[in-house]
Amino acid sequence: MEEETSVEKENGYEDLFLQFSSIFERWVKRVLLVLVSLLILSQLLLQVPFLRYYMVKVEQLEGVPYSRTAS
């Protein structure tokens, strides 16, 4: 009889673990989806020169481009 109760406890633990892991997997998938979406959005925003100037510190430090004058 003790074996039956220990088997039942193991099955109960497995069921609880499967419930927890499925909930956890759903949250991980959602977080990854949000992070990938933000990555793609930020990369798209960097393609716009006006926005890139304010988003990237190095763009502000670039200075004035050199232009050749006819001599």
**Percent of the chain whose pLDDT exceeds 90:** 46
The DSSP line for 1-61 is -HHHHHHHHHHHHHHHHHHHHHHHHHHHHHHHHHHHHHHHHHHHHTTSHHHHHHH-HHHHH
Residue 51, classified by CB atoms within 10 Å of its CB into exposed (0-12), middle (13-18) or buried (19+), is middle
**Percent of the chain whose pLDDT exceeds 70:** 87
How would residue 65 be classed by pLDDT, with cut points 50, 70 and 90? Answer: low
**pTM confidence score:** 0.63
- Measured on CA atoms in the order 40, 45, 46, 48, is the torsion positive or negative? positive
